[in-house]
């Protein structure tokens, strides 16, 4: 039973760093190619119901009929992504989700947004290790075009991330952030 619960994917979701010589590291590449097979079909569909069905297969969850995804969408794993209701994901987004991505209800994600839950150490000798940290986008948030949300970030309820921003730190509820690195621009009324 322990072998099942302690897979490389569960260890990543739990925040464990993975060394390049991990005996299960090959499973990451295999899973990515399995996901890619479904992505090719999803990204070639123009039928919203089919797209949601393919995304349900990729995430291993039920994607609500209120969710709209404009393809292409790129995901490296998928099973660590959870998407709420009434979510809109625009064209050309990238989700690296080994660390876990949670998108709550009523979130808007503009084109070319990257949600990147994976990073690497800065030391040369350890650089091929994988460090996962989750991303959480709370309800009613709006992520502007070409924004990048980095690992370990929570975007607060009703928050707005300005287009082109790189978000390294948590975004408080009811704020607008922007820039590189993103900083609070102003507070907004809920």
Enumerate the active-site residues.
120
CA–CA dist 132, 99 (Å, integer):
4
Cβ proximity of 106 and 84 under 8 Å: yes
164 CB-near residues (< 8 Å, 6+ apart): 144, 145, 146, 147, 178, 180
């Amino acid at each position: 039973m322990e072998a099942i619960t302690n897979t490389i994917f569960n260890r990543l979701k739990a925040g464990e760093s993975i060394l390049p010589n991990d005996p299960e590291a090959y499973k990451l590449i295999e899973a990515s190619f399995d996901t890619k097979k479904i992505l090719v079909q999803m990204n070639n569909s123009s039928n919203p119901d089919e797209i949601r069905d393919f995304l349900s297969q990729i995430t291993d969850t039920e994607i609500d009929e209120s969710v709209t995804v404009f393809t292409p969408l790129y995901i490296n794993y998928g099973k660590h992504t959870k998407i709420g209701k009434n979510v809109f994901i625009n064209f050309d987004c990238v989700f690296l989700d080994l660390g876990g991505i949670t998108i709550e209800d009523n979130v808007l994600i503009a084109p070319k947004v990257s949600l990147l839950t994976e990073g690497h150490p800065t030391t040369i000798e350890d650089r091929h290790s994988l460090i996962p940290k989750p991303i959480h986008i709370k309800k009613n948030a709006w992520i502007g075009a070409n924004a990048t949300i980095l690992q370990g970030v929570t975007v607060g309820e009703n928050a707005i991330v300005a287009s082109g921003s790189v978000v390294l730190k948590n975004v408080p509820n009811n704020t607008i952030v922007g820039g590189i690195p993103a900083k609070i621009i102003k507070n907004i009324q809920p």
